[in-house]
Amino acid sequence: MASACSSSSSNRSTLERLPNSQIRILRTVESVRRWRRPHTLDQRMVALVPTMGALHEGHLSLIRAAARENHHVVVSLYVNPAQFGVREDLSSYPVTWDADAEALVKLDRELADDGNNLGRISAVFAPTTPEMYPGGFPGQEVDSKGSFVTITPVGEVLEGKSRPTFFRGVATVCMKLFNIVQPDRVYFGQKDVQQTVVIKRLVRDFMIPAEVVVCPTARAEDGLALSSRNVYLGERRRPVSTVLYRALRAAEDAYNAGARDRETILAAATKVTDDVLAEQMALAPEKRVRFEVDYISLADPDNMEELSTVDPVKGAILSGAIRMLPVEDPQPGEDLGHSGGPLVRLIDNIIIPPSA
Ligand code: AMP
């Protein structure tokens, strides 16, 4: 007897895939659920690597780690408006679908050729905003009304202080992604260390049955942490932008030399930022680069609260954020960076590991 209930079904011969690959392109929640179901029954391990696209080697390192340990890797590509503040760079955030597709297909071939992997990239989840926010996008204002996940107080300090809607947006979209993909493991980069603390809280407090895996920060040769936002820097600001990493390394050196108190450790970082800024300000306006330090922090690795002294048994997180200001006096033909070289906020961190 025919069922009175209706359901939509897909034509399996028209499954969308990335060019020259087996990687499925999934655009709807329903298509992910349909893809996921047999892997639950077969007890295959599914990993999720959430990204906002504009893929670089940092993202690819997470996918490599996921493929080593899981049968299937799902990469989400979604620029989540909820984690951008009203005055932030949502409209100019680099969207590079073709290059991302190419990078994923190339990486998937590399994974196939390397015998050490359990899995490959099985699918890309690239939803639209109406798909992710079925009740309508609630807006980017601090007091926007809607269904949000907030993780406090850890989401309110440091990055959360400078960007008050950021972790609410991240936690909300990750909760959605985790519910859609139902991954066994989720992969995040240490580059966004406070985000990893927020996500671990989310998983713990909402009993999400996934393991959170944190992978090391991928860096350029000069130490700059890879970031999708580095394309905004342009040729003048790019070399100076290593100042944050150099400052954090100096603070780490002070710790390794025996300092345990906040003043001594952070003074080493501040000396680097002060010296570099002084060097730059001695140059002519058409040559120099200006930046502002947003914060440099020495925090508890469990909750990101500021420490006055480091307990070596627990370790600590050294982190910071700087604002690279737009260049003065742009010169004819100067490469100013993506979108004309706007203000770029860069973050980085170094973990002081707990002693054995
Ligand atoms: P995003 O696309 O910026 O939201 O980043 C997606 C994921 O990639 C997050 O888990 C980031 O922490 C991670 N990620 C970004 N940059 C790096 C990097 N340089 N090294 C390692 N992971 C990174």
CATH of the domain at 247: 3.30.1300.10
For the chain, helix (H) and strand (E) counts, in that order, are 10, 9
Check: CB of residue 260 under 8 Å from CB of residue 303: no
- The answer to the question of residue 4 being in a domain is no
Q: pLDDT band for position 9 (50/70/90)?
A: very low
Does residue 235 share a domain with residue 206?
A: no
Does residue 257 share a domain with residue 177?
A: no
Classify residue 231 by burial, with Cβ atoms within 10 Å: 0-12, 13-18, 19+: middle
Q: Which of 55, 166, 191 to mutate to test the pocket of ligand 1 (most atoms within 8 A of CB)?
A: 191
The closest alpha carbon to 49, from 40, 39, 57, 60, belongs to: 60
Characterize 253-277 residue by residue with b for buried, 16 or more Cβ atoms within 10 angstroms of its Cβ, and e for exposed. Answer: ebbeeebeebeebbebbeebbeebb
Given the residues 56, 59, 72, 338, select the one marked as catalytic: 59
- The answer to the question of residue 258 being in a domain is yes
Pairing mode, if any, of strands 291-299 and 316-324? antiparallel
Q: Rounded to whole angstroms, how far apart are CA atoms 113 and 109?
A: 6
What is the rounded average pLDDT of the residues 55-71?
98
- The answer to the question of residue 57 being in a domain is yes
The number of distinct structural domains making up the chain is 2
DSSP 147-165: -----TTTTTSTHHHHSTT
Give the range among 1-15, 26-40, 257-271 with minimum mean pLDDT. Answer: 1-15
Q: Which of 215, 238, 258 is the last residue of a domain?
A: 215
Q: pLDDT band for position 4 (50/70/90)?
A: low
Q: pLDDT band for position 150 (50/70/90)?
A: very high
Does residue 108 share a domain with residue 29?
A: yes
Q: Which residues does residue 219 pair with via DSSP β-bridges, in sequence order?
A: 225
| pLDDT single digits (tens) 99-123 | 999 999 999 999 999 999 999 999 9
Q: pLDDT band for position 356 (50/70/90)?
A: confident
CA 52 to chain centre: 8
318 C-beta neighbours (distance < 10 Å), count: 26
Note if 59 is an active site residue: yes
Does residue 251 share a domain with residue 182?
A: no
What is the rounded average pLDDT of the residues 252-268?
98
Does residue 178 share a domain with residue 144?
A: yes
Q: Which of 59, 84, 90, 350 to mutate to test the pocket of ligand 1 (most atoms within 8 A of CB)?
A: 59
- The answer to the question of residue 33 being in a domain is yes
Q: Which of 157, 190, 215 is the last residue of a domain?
A: 215
- The answer to the question of residue 119 being in a domain is yes
What is the rounded average pLDDT of the residues 57-84?
98
Does residue 276 share a domain with residue 200?
A: no
